[in-house]
Amino acid sequence: MTDTIFVTGLSIHARHGVMDHETEVGQRFVIDLELYTDLSEPARSDRLADTVSYADVVATTTAAFKNTNYRLLERAAGAVADAILANFPRIRAVKITVHKPHAPIAAIFDDVGIMLTRSRHP
């Protein structure tokens, strides 16, 4: 059985990108997370200790995403996935979507970004 904890629309200012102004000024990124785990125990116990704290996941995600400047979103999202899997043993897999709403693209677009999924057992 796989259940899901999710966080959507986490807005973080960071300095990722390949262009100079992206790394100097930075920009807003939006992150969506899906955390795959078994929620049967906390569904019975009603105890925070038996699940994964949303607040802790957000803090871990924010630190992993902001603390290093990456050229590629793929690497930034990979750092988040690595941090989540390292810090939350209850999580079996994570799906991360990183939206870059102000990407330096000479076009009108609704959204651009990357999605990746990582698990403990690939």
Note if 66 is an active site residue: no
Supply the DSSP string of 37-91, one letter for each residue: E--HHHHHH--GGGS--HHHHHHHHHHHHHSS--S-HHHHHHHHHHHHHHH-TT-
pTM for this structure? 0.92
- Angle, helices 73-87/54-66, rounded to nearest 10 degrees: 140
Distance of CA 31 to the CA centre of its chain: 5
Residue 8, both tokens = 């959507």
Mean pLDDT score, 35-46:
96
Span 3-112 CATH architecture: 2-Layer Sandwich (3.30)
Helix/strand/coil percentages in the chain, nearest 5: 35, 30, 35
Q: Where are the domains of the chain?
A: 3-112
pLDDT tens-digit series, residues 48-101: 999 999 999 999 999 999 999 999 999 999 999 999 999 999 999 999 999 999
Catalytic residue of the set 16, 95, 99, 100: 100
